[in-house]
Amino acid sequence: MAALMDRAYVDMRPWSARDIAETLASKHCQALCHPHGFLIAQMVAGDGEILALATDTKAQRQGVASSLMSELIGIATKHNIHRLLLEVASQNQPARDFYTSRGFAQVGLRRGYYTLRDGTKDDAVLLSLAIAQGQGNLAPTSQGSDTKSG
Ligand SMILES: CC(C)(COP(=O)(O)OP(=O)(O)OC[C@H]1O[C@@H](n2cnc3c(N)ncnc32)[C@H](O)[C@@H]1OP(=O)(O)O)[C@@H](O)C(=O)NCCC(=O)NCCS
């Protein structure tokens, strides 16, 4: 997972294998895996937080992340999670386009939150997606979050 993340996170700093192992050890963690990608989330107190999402470079734009997100939404619905939250670097346009395509909406901004691989700073855009329980009906939420992700 760390090697895939290193390839996919072109500008963002990837997690180390140790970071990933420690996150996966949490009882709140949900790791969804695909042969060419993965999604790591945590679900606590009604909120689901996407911590990491990556599709290997050669497999992008083939629906891998969409499939992982659909799986996460299914799990979240079963666990009575009413919204998904995440942070994405403002300059990470592919990821922002992906989340927009999945119905996420911006609910906040953290200035200078990220340090990129080249040492420059970038803002974190907070995104949210409401999950209508039992209906599979998705719509953006209007509330912010103080959670962190990548
Ligand atoms: C963001 C990311 C996970 C998307 O994964 P993916 O498997 O390529 O996404 P999908 O194939 O499911 O894309 C679904 C839709 O999202 C949008 N999208 C995805 N990548 C896009 C891109 N590079 N440019 C524009 N839109 C994009 C499109 O609407 C796409 O539908 P389409 O291909 O029919 O036009 C992938 O680009 C990635 O791993 N990026 C590096 C890691 C990263 O930034 N992770 C997110 C951290 S918050």
Chain segment 44-84, per-residue pLDDT in tens: 989 999 999 999 999 999 999 999 999 999 999 999 999 99
- Give the predicted TM-score (pTM) of the model: 0.90
**Do the strands 83-89 and 47-55 form a parallel or antiparallel pair, or are they unpaired?**
parallel
- State percent of the chain over pLDDT 90: 85
98 Cα nearest atom in ligand 1: 16
pLDDT band at 94 (very low <50, low <70, confident <90, very high): very high
Range 2-139: architecture per CATH: 3-Layer(aba) Sandwich (3.40)
- Say if ligand 1 is within 6 A of residue 66 CB: yes
- Say if ligand 1 is within 6 A of residue 85 CB: no
* Per-domain boundaries in the chain: 2-139
Predicted confidence at residue 141, as pLDDT, reads: 47
DSSP bridge partners of 33: 38
Interhelix angle 93-101/64-78, rounded to 10 degrees, is 50
Contact 12, 117 (CB under 8 A): yes
Alpha helix (H) residue ranges in the chain: 2-8, 17-24, 64-78, 93-101
- Say if ligand 1 is within 6 A of residue 97 CB: yes
- Answer with the residue of higher pLDDT: 147 or 113: 113
Kindly provide the residue ranges of all beta strands, DSSP E only, lying in the chain, ordered along the sequence. Answer: 29-34, 37-44, 47-55, 83-89, 105-115, 121-132, 137-139
- Residue 137 pLDDT > 50: no
Q: Which of 16, 21, 62, 55 is nearest to 38 (CA)?
A: 55
Nearest residue (by CA) to ligand 1, atom 10, is 63
Contact 15, 52 (CB under 8 A): yes
95: left (phi over 0), alpha (psi -120 to 50) or beta: alpha
Distance from Cα 133 to the centre of ligand 1, integer Å: 26
Predicted confidence at residue 114, as pLDDT, reads: 96
> DSSP 3-state assignment of 79?
coil
Q: Which of 149, 105, 110, 147 is nearest to 127 (CA)?
A: 105
Q: Which of 148, 150, 129 is nearest to 139 (CA)?
A: 129
Distance from Cα 94 to the centre of ligand 1, integer Å: 5
- Say if ligand 1 is within 6 A of residue 68 CB: no
